[in-house]
Amino acid sequence: MDNFNTLSDNEPPLDTEELNSEIVPFATVSSEKPFINSEIPNSDFNTVSPATEQFRSEYFPQATDKQWNSWRWQIQNSYTKFDKLSEVIGESHIDDMISLSNSRKLPLRITPYYASLLDNKGNDYAIAKSVVPSKLEFITSPGEELDPLHEDSMCPTPNLVHRYPDRTLLLSTGFCSVYCRYCTRTHMVQKEKKHYGTKAWENSINYIKNNPNVRDVIISGGDPLTMNDSHLEFLLSSLHAIPHIDIIRIGTKVPMVLPQRITKKLVKMLKKYHPLYMSIHATHPDEITPEVTEAITRLADAGIVLGSQTVLLKGVNDSVETMKSLIFKLLKVRVKPYYIYQCDPIPGSSHFRTPVSKGIEIIQGLRGHISGYGIPHYVIDAPGGGGKVPILPEYYQGRDGDNVVIKNFEGKIYKYYDPI
């Protein structure tokens, strides 16, 4: 491809325009060895909530404002070791640390910012359960498989999933700033510590160029917002230049776990590529902090269409009240609740899975109590690659002669005249 000038594909924090210094590998950086202040570019993100400030002064007393508010510093100082994490959450919450450390399971990674939300006794450590490894991950149950959606068999080029006729899913990187223990893409995330780099996208971009039926590209991963601005812009501009691409979507958890990434510079770049949609992975109402509100406000003000995706997780968000609270908070920050997913059957995920009836109960508990804007689709991603199937409470009850019989949110039955 002639206009591909391969950008460097080093570790996520590298952006030579902004950070004119050599990158320090993650493993050598810890909270005891913070970056030299001059190596961190000034951030235009400076919202720090009182609760997070308290966490920072306790666990990162030497971190300056400049460091804490830098997304690169956050990634470089993330919790990747169990002993460090146990200082925050207490060893009783970390099962069998030695076997987990030695296992080849999805690794541990939590940003210092997100770690500040973990010690939440009031909500039974709901957020911690979603990102702190557990020995329950060693239990494989019937129906579980590494790639339950069979995405690997739908890839015309490496890391490009073409399941629906008009859409493709570009798995742009294997890196995330936080690893969710129930991740559908456990089979591909964090295979290497590096981002793939621009060269790896060449065949996928060419495939999309040569398929005029594709009008919608979802950039996901891993988490695309962990890439530096120049890599991300390279991808967005390449796709935006394809005449038959109508919309581009970004799937990300970054605004919730690394809000410092949503700099004014990033947002200014993103808004060049409208119509741009963003699906934000949201798990629990406690995630909507002042930092997250600031990050999402920036994205919404830039005209990016925002929707949420939430995985239904046992003990984390599996109640009508928790989902309702999350939805109210999302609507308030201009994020349309889009999907609630039944947890996919990846190996070692049964402790997260609720019965499907729980999802139906939640949708029933929302309908009639929140405006239609706040009602997400509850879907099961059909194992084997069948795509998303919406699961609905039975509002349509069938026919009675010239009427259709319908049930409202209170369970009352009505007839609607609809002659055959």
Among 89, 128, 180, 232, which residue interacts with ligand SF4 (rule: CB under 6 A)? 180
Q: Which is nearer to ligand SF4, 18 or 318 (CB)?
A: 318
Is 344 marked active-site?
A: yes
- Percentage helix, strand, coil for the chain under 3-state DSSP, each rounded to 5: 35, 15, 45
Among 72, 162, 185, 195, which residue interacts with ligand SF4 (rule: CB under 6 A)? 185
Is 343 marked active-site?
A: no
Among 100, 161, 183, 379, which residue interacts with ligand SF4 (rule: CB under 6 A)? 183
Measure the CA–CA gap between 99 and 117, rounded to whole angstroms.
26
Q: What residues from 270 to 289 belong to the interface with ligand SF4 (CB under 6 A)?
A: 281
Q: Is 223 in the site for ligand SF4 (CB under 6 A)?
A: yes
Is 261 marked active-site?
A: no
Q: Is 153 exposed, middle or buried (0-12, 13-18, 19+ CB in 10 A)?
A: exposed
Is 388 marked active-site?
A: yes
Q: Is 176 in the site for ligand SF4 (CB under 6 A)?
A: yes
Q: Is 179 in the site for ligand SF4 (CB under 6 A)?
A: yes
Closest C-alpha to 337, from 322, 346, 326, 351: 326
Determine which one of 167, 324, 367, 415 is catalytic: 167
Query: Residue 5, SS3?
Result: coil
CB 149 within 8 A of CB 385: yes
Q: Is 148 in the site for ligand SF4 (CB under 6 A)?
A: no
Helices (H), 189-302: 202-209, 229-240, 254-257, 264-270, 290-301
Is 298 marked active-site?
A: no
Name the one range near ligand SF4 by CB under 6 A: 61-69, 73-81, 177-185, 208-216.
177-185
Q: How many CA atoms are closer than 13 Å to the CA of 191, on its beta-carbon side?
A: 14
Q: Is 255 in the site for ligand SF4 (CB under 6 A)?
A: no
Closest C-alpha to 55, from 79, 19, 37: 79
Question: Cα(first)–Cα(last) distance of the chain, in Å?
Answer: 58
Q: Which is nearer to ligand SF4, 294 or 344 (CB)?
A: 344
Measure the CA–CA gap between 339 and 280, rounded to whole angstroms.
10
Q: Is 253 in the site for ligand SF4 (CB under 6 A)?
A: yes
Q: Is 326 in the site for ligand SF4 (CB under 6 A)?
A: no
Q: Which H or E run includes 72?
A: helix 71-76
Among 221, 259, 307, 348, which residue interacts with ligand SF4 (rule: CB under 6 A)? 221
CB of 403 to ligand SF4, least distance (A): 45
Q: Which is nearer to ligand SF4, 253 or 351 (CB)?
A: 253
Is 164 marked active-site?
A: yes
Query: Residue 324, SS3?
Result: helix
CB 103 within 8 A of CB 183: no
Determine which one of 185, 249, 261, 329 is catalytic: 185
Give 13's contacts (C-beta < 8 A, 6+ positions apart): 19, 23, 72, 75, 76, 228
Q: Is 114 in the site for ligand SF4 (CB under 6 A)?
A: no
Is 176 marked active-site?
A: yes
Give catalytic residues, as residue numbers. Answer: 163-164, 167, 176, 180, 183, 185, 344, 381, 388
- Interface contacts to ligand SF4, rule CB under 6 A: 176, 179-180, 183, 185, 189, 221-223, 253, 281
